[in-house]
Amino acid sequence: MKTLLIGEYREGKLLESTYELLGFAGQLGAETAMLLVGSESQLPAYGGTLYLADASTCGEYNPDLHKKLILDAVQKENPDYIVFQHSSYGWDLAPRVASALKAAQISEVIALADGGFEVGCCNGKMRRHVKSTTSKTVLTIQAGAFPALQPGGSPSLQKLTAGGSDTLEFIGYEPAEKKDVDLAKAEIIVSAGRGVGKKDNIPVIQALATALGGELGASRPVVDAEWVSHSHQVGTTGQTVSPKLYVACGISGAIQHLAGMKKSDFILAINKDKDAPIGEIADVLVVADVMQFVPALTAKVAK
Ligand X SMILES: Cc1cc2nc3c(=O)[nH]c(=O)nc-3n(C[C@H](O)[C@H](O)[C@H](O)COP(=O)(O)OP(=O)(O)OC[C@H]3O[C@@H](n4cnc5c(N)ncnc54)[C@H](O)[C@@H]3O)c2cc1C
Residues 161, 124: Cα–Cα separation, whole Å: 40
- Total residues binding ligand X (CB under 6 A): 30
If one asks whether residue 251 binds ligand X (CB under 6 A), the answer comes out as yes
Residues 291, 216: Cα–Cα separation, whole Å: 16
Please, which residue, 209 or 276, has the CB nearer to ligand X?
276
- Closest approach of ligand X to the CB of residue 112, in Å: 19
Q: Which residues are registered as beta bridge partners of 139?
A: 83, 106
- Closest approach of ligand X to the CB of residue 255, in Å: 7
Residues 128, 120: Cα–Cα separation, whole Å: 6
If one asks whether residue 144 binds ligand X (CB under 6 A), the answer comes out as no
If one asks whether residue 273 binds ligand X (CB under 6 A), the answer comes out as yes
Q: Are 143 and 135 a contacting pair, CB within 8 Å?
A: no
Say how many Å lie between the first and final Cα of the chain, rounded.
Answer: 60
- Per CB under 6 A, contacts with ligand X among 116-135 are 120, 123-124
Q: Is 296 helix (H, G, I), strand (E, B) or coil?
A: helix
Look at the chain and count its residues.
Answer: 303
Amino acid letter, residue 256 = Q
Please, which residue, 62 or 236, has the CB nearer to ligand X?
236
If one asks whether residue 235 binds ligand X (CB under 6 A), the answer comes out as yes
Question: Which H, E and C letters describe 164-221, residue by residue?
Answer: CCCCCCCCCCCCCCCCCCCHHHCCEEEEECHHHCCHHHHHHHHHHHHHCCCEEEECHH
If one asks whether residue 236 binds ligand X (CB under 6 A), the answer comes out as yes
- One residue of 44, 59, 155, 250 binding ligand X per CB under 6 A: 250
- Closest approach of ligand X to the CB of residue 272, in Å: 4
If one asks whether residue 233 binds ligand X (CB under 6 A), the answer comes out as yes
If one asks whether residue 221 binds ligand X (CB under 6 A), the answer comes out as yes
Binding string, 23-52, against ligand X, x = CB under 6 A? ------------------------------
CA atoms within 13 A on the CB side of 38: 24
- One residue of 65, 254, 269, 297 binding ligand X per CB under 6 A: 254
Q: State the residues that interact with ligand X by CB under 6 A.
A: 120, 123-124, 193-195, 219-221, 233-238, 250-252, 254, 256-257, 260, 270-273, 276, 289-291
